[in-house]
């Protein structure tokens, strides 16, 4: 196991209430206690309704908080039910997930995601940018084509690469208990890295996570891929025990 920094990012999706702070509290305690043993960065992305309360309550250097989407419009506007990056930043978010397949499947395009990334970067938020192919695309041999398009149509050379974490999340793997074969995943991570390097300077070091049905048993499989900088964890991040076990087992 290398001593490279690893990201463990929780995506709570549309789950959680004020009482769920106990999950954050336990993860924070674990993060503090294991700070010398594991070189890790823990980020929990919560629903918008919780970010302000949690960020005020959490006084910690050991975990960070984020949200899961925003409207692309930079300032206030007549967009019923929406919040922009600036509002989320002021409510306490440090990170934001953009391009998640849950939102792509509701019609979010690469162009729209690009606008959201721009607006979140303007607010100095850190982006967790999700890409990934559907099952149909995988079956028809279009994985690389899809990933290239998602990257090229949403990422611009002038974006700050060190503010963007890429998360490879095959859509067919999210919430299904199915994960890619390790050899396949290695090739895909390499491909994503090379595509990003084509946009940014050659010596840029893009951070790439894997996400999709990560749990405390399959996490060991992924530790054999040194190129992976961490994990985006959905279902299992809604339990402090499952989330902590994933981190512990990764380093075993
Ligand atoms: C996700 O929704 O980002 C995700 C990775 O979900 P899960 O871990 O539940 O597959």
Ligand 1 atom closest to the CA of 130, numbered from 1: 3
Ligand 1 binding site (Cβ under 6 Å of any ligand atom): 11, 13, 169, 174-175, 211-214, 232-236
Q: Which two tokens stand for residue 120?
A: 């979140």
Q: Cα–Cα–Cα angle for 95, 104, 97, nearest 5°?
A: 5
Q: Which of 169, 180, 236 to mutate to test the pocket of ligand 1 (most atoms within 8 A of CB)?
A: 169
Give the containing element (helix H, strand E) for 6. strand 6-11
pLDDT for residue 185: 98
Q: Which of 9, 13, 237 to mutate to test the pocket of ligand 1 (most atoms within 8 A of CB)?
A: 13
pLDDT for residue 131: 98
Q: Say how many Å lie between the CA of residue 203 and the centre of ligand 1.
A: 31
C-alpha of 152 from chain center: 18
Q: Say how many Å lie between the CA of residue 102 and the centre of ligand 1.
A: 10
Give buried/exposed letters for 82-102 (b at 16+ CB in 10 A, else e): eebbbbbbebbbbbbbbbbbb
pLDDT for residue 205: 83
pLDDT over threshold 80, residue 202: no
- Residue 43 and residue 223: Cα distance in Å, rounded? 19
Q: Say how many Å lie between the CA of residue 174 and the centre of ligand 1.
A: 5
pLDDT in tens, 114-163: 999 999 999 999 999 999 999 999 999 999 999 999 999 999 999 999 99
pTM (predicted TM-score): 0.97
């Amino acid at each position: 196991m290398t001593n490279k920094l690893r990201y463990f990012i929780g995506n709570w999706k549309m789950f959680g209430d004020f009482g769920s702070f106990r999950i954050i509290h336990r993860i924070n305690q674990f993060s503090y206690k294991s700070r010398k043993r594991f070189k890790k960065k823990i980020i929990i992305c919560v629903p918008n309704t919780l970010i302000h309360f949690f960020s005020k309550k959490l006084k910690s250097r050991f975990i960070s908080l984020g949200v899961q989407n925003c409207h692309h419009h930079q300032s206030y506007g007549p967009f019923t039910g929406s919040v922009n990056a600036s509002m989320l930043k002021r409510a306490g978010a440090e990170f934001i997930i953009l391009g998640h397949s849950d939102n792509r499947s509701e019609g979010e395009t690469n162009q729209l995601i690009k606008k959201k990334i721009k607006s979140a970067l303007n607010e100095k938020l850190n982006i967790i940018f999700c890409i990934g192919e559907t099952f149909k695309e995988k079956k028809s041999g279009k994985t690389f084509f899809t990933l290239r398009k998602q990257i090229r149509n949403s990422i611009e050379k002038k974006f700050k690469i060190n503010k963007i974490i890429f998360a490879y999340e095959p859509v067919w793997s999210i919430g299904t208990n199915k994960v890619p074969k390790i050899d396949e995943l290695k090739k895909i991570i390499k491909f994503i890295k090379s595509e990003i390097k084509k946009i940014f300077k050659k010596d840029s070091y893009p951070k790439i996570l894997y996400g999709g049905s990560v749990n405390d048993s399959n996490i060991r499989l992924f530790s054999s891929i040194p190129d992976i900088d961490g994990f985006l964890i959905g279902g299992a991040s809604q339990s402090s025990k499952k989330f902590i076990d994933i981190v512990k087992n990764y380093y075993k």
